[in-house]
Structure 1
Amino acid sequence: MRPRTALDSPAAIRRSAMDLLARREHSYSELLRKLRQRGAATDAAEIELDRLVGDGLLSDARFCEAYLYARSQRGYGPARLKEELRQRGVAEALVERTLAEFDQDWTALAQRVFAKRFPEGRASDPAERSKQLRFMQYRGFGSFQAD
């Protein structure tokens, strides 16, 4: 006899998925991974997730928008956000479209992030300037130029 897992029925899988979605938006692949970690069979989890998508309760587009907003408010730029969304299983085309439609002045955000981290301004020392540029690239602002 096979041991009973916590997520051995469609209702249990759906309930677990809904609990996760109640906390925050998730991408389809992120939610699938979490359900599998909790003991759900992949096929059964995919069926329930497809039902959640059909019911409008799970949406990669909504996840992408919420993620972009939250992370940009914390000072992360488009390059970093694009990579993070890719790692979370969001389709490249959806990420590109959402970034293009996202109402954010990336240049102004980059300037605010730079000014907060480096209140002394642009370094004249090449080694220190290199550190500043690496920081901005790490934050997702690849072509940033400080005044």
Structure 2
Amino acid sequence: MKQPLSLRARALNILARQEISRADLKRKLAPYADNENELDQLLDELAERNWQSDERFAEAYIHSKSKRHGTLRLKQTLQQKGIDNETAASFLPSREQELQTAIEVLHKKFKQPAQDMKEMQKQMRFLAYRGFDTDTIRAAMKNDWFEEE
């Protein structure tokens, strides 16, 4: 009969496959831990050995998602994953990068500029859903189709 995996083995299996935040790792391992103290000790050890790093997770997450999402959405998702704002802020794209991303996302989804107010609002809602702030949306809508022509 197969032996159940130890808490440590489960943690290493998860970390071998992906970067993960401490909070998410704790959530995944909690059902298998005998007590919270044991779990916290393991998480502390993994962080000390730099096998689990919230900074590395934040950097990888932002790198993978910042070409499709705005800063607001990136921050919100990282908060949900237990990453503090200070850690996240060091990896977030600059205002210029975010504006360029908003323009690229807009061009990919909509092949032409808005013809009327209804279409413009649709495009603005699309960008807002993607996590871009109001200033970025306005700038992208103003600049979006004029740069290519």
TM-score between the two structures when normalised by the length of structure 2: 0.82
Alignment of 1:39-50 (within 5 A): 39-40=32-33, 41-50=35-44
The match for 1:3 is: none
TM-score between the two structures when normalised by the length of structure 1: 0.83
The reply on whether 1:112 has 2:68 as its aligned counterpart is no
C-alpha contact 1:32 1:45 (8 A) present in aligned 2: yes
C-alpha contact 1:52 1:58 (8 A) present in aligned 2: yes
Q: Which residues of structure 2 form unaligned runs of 5+?
A: 143-149
Aligned residues: 135
Q: Distance in 2 between matches of 1:129 and 1:103?
A: 22
The match for 1:138 is: 129
Q: Which residues of structure 1 form unaligned runs of 5+?
A: 1-5
The reply on whether 1:127 has 2:149 as its aligned counterpart is no
User: Alignment identity in percent?
Assistant: 35
SS of the counterpart of 1:99? coil
| Residue 116 of structure 1: how far off its partner (Å) | 0.4
The reply on whether 1:24 has 2:18 as its aligned counterpart is yes
Distance 1:135 1:29, change over 3 A: same
Tell me which stretches of 4 or more aligned residues in structure 1 moved more than 3 Å: none
C-alpha contact 1:32 1:42 (8 A) present in aligned 2: no
SS of the counterpart of 2:92? helix
Distance 1:104 1:35, change over 3 A: farther
Q: Distance in 2 between matches of 1:77 and 1:19?
A: 31
How large is the RMSD of aligned CA atoms in angstroms?
A: 2.1
Q: Distance in 1 between matches of 2:119 and 2:104?
A: 19
The reply on whether 1:71 has 2:62 as its aligned counterpart is no
Deviations 1:22-68 (A, max 9, x none): 1110000010000014x223221111010000001110000000000
